[in-house]
Amino acid sequence: MSAQQPGSSSAAAAAAAAADRVWRQTLREEQVIHAAAIPPAEMKNCYEHFDTWAACFALAPQLRAVYRYGTAQDCKAKLDDFKHCLSLKKLDEEARRAAWIRHRAQRTAAMRLEGSSEDVWELRRDPLVAPALADPTIPGPADDAA
């Protein structure tokens, strides 16, 4: 039996609330990124998701994965994309795109928060204000005030 220290439940609740805020902020950022990256005209249909999933099992991608990572490629994410696409068939075009962006944003937000050995750059949340190598023909925020 371990005795709980006074205030430990409130500290755990505060940590959970902070983690939830970070999750929601990361999810919002990923939704903006995916909305900009996936124009409505370039939305994949379910046939393309099926082809991507089936191509995952081809010999060349599997050998490449074994060479690079030491194990065969896991095609579960591609299958999940295909299944999610099938679940969106009854929605109209706009709702389907919003649901797809939310689905992709949840996956990439989880990957971003999990971290990776390939993480080198941090996502810039604030724009550059006065970079040293900026194009002088483009006015910056300080130039607008003058």
Round to whole Å and give the CA distance between 125 and 29. Answer: 9
pLDDT of residue 130: 57
The pLDDT value given to residue 134? 54
- CB count within 10 Å of CB 38 equals 15
Tokens 């990124």 identify what position? 33
pTM over the 0.75 mark = no
Structure confidence at residue 4 (pLDDT): 52
Q: H/E/C letters for each residue in 49-105?
A: HHHHHHHHCCHHHHHHHHHHHCCCCCCHHHHHHHHHHHHCCCCCHHHHHHHHHHHHH
10-residue mean pLDDT profile of the chain (146 residues): values are 60 89 91 88 93 95 92 94 94 92 93 77 68 55 47
- What CA–CA distance (Å, rounded) separates 35 from 97? 9
pLDDT score, position 145: 46
